[in-house]
Amino acid sequence: MGDHFSAFSFVDRIRDYTRRGPHARGYFTIPDGLTAFPSCLVAEAVGQLASWVAMDHIDFRGRPVAALALETRFLRDVKPGETLELGVELESCDDEAVSYRGWADVDGARALELIDCLGPMLPLDEFDSPLVLKERFDVLCGAGAPAGRFHGINGFHVEPGVLVPGKSATAKLYVPEAAPFFHDHFPRRPVFPATLLLNEMIQLALNAAGGNGSGTLVAERMTNVKVRSFTPPGQALDLTAELTVSGGSAIVASLTARAEGRMVATAQVDLSRRNG
């Protein structure tokens, strides 16, 4: 349990929150020693703040899990050493589900936005200890947790598949049987984080789009994210990115992840080229 609240926890402190209120602000300082902090982990940080507030709303009887996100806007990259200023607004929350929107700023500039997110609530004690999470929530709402706990992600392997430049790409993602991030996600029921899966799907889309053209190819926004099932330890996932629009400055890719032919997750990503 030494990695609990360290290996995959991205909220250092919660502020400007009134118990059972719909608004919350939080902070997470990206450790200096990391080589990078992908945008999907910024989205994870926003989602985790929403999860803390949602769990408090229903007195830690349940916890939300990733399911639907209408739109994620990637507005700028973040760097190690920077502090994410997180914000969420709950639109509804009960024992069945939570819906919310959220954002992350760096030095007052918007880095990411989540729009129309929905997560079903599942019994908390299936995933973690309600008492331990209540105690952690009190720490986050008080003095806060020490920064620098996160040491990066490792432990899973992605094997490239068939690449048709400008059209499509495939890959196979091997989820490990054990990894530090499972201590946070989740101690009693390990699940491969959806944001790590989505990050690999975006990378596959960038590979499919190729390097032709000037400027750096980046993900601009992700839409219609649907996570249909949990991915347990030891699972192998077949990833596919197919370019549905690839003309001029518009590049759009349809993304899928399957396990033994069964659909696990789908999304669409818009890519663009940025100079400088």
Q: How many domains does the chain have?
A: 2
How far, in Å, are 24, 156, 172 from residue 66 at the CA level? 19, 20, 22
What span, in angstroms and rounded, lies between the C-alpha atoms of 144 and 13? 5
pLDDT tens-place values along the chain, 276 residues long? 467 999 999 999 999 998 878 899 999 999 999 999 999 999 999 999 999 999 999 999 999 998 899 999 999 999 999 999 999 999 999 999 999 999 999 999 999 999 999 999 999 999 999 999 999 999 999 999 999 999 999 889 999 999 999 999 999 999 999 999 999 999 999 999 999 999 999 999 999 998 655 568 899 999 999 999 999 999 999 999 999 987 667 899 999 999 999 999 999 999 998 765
Asked whether residue 94 falls in the same domain as residue 167, the answer is no
Asked whether residue 137 falls in the same domain as residue 24, the answer is yes
Residue 178 sits in a domain of what CATH number?
A: 3.10.129.10
Q: Compute CA 131 distance to the chain's CA centroid, rounded to the nearest angstrom.
A: 25
What span, in angstroms and rounded, lies between the C-alpha atoms of 207 and 246? 13
Does any domain span residue 4? no
Asked whether residue 135 falls in the same domain as residue 177, the answer is no
Range of the domain at 64: 13-141
Does any domain span residue 84? yes
Does any domain span residue 116? yes
3-state DSSP assignment of residue 111:
strand
Q: Which of 113, 141, 169 is the last residue of a domain?
A: 141
Which residues does residue 223 pair with via DSSP β-bridges, in sequence order? 71, 268
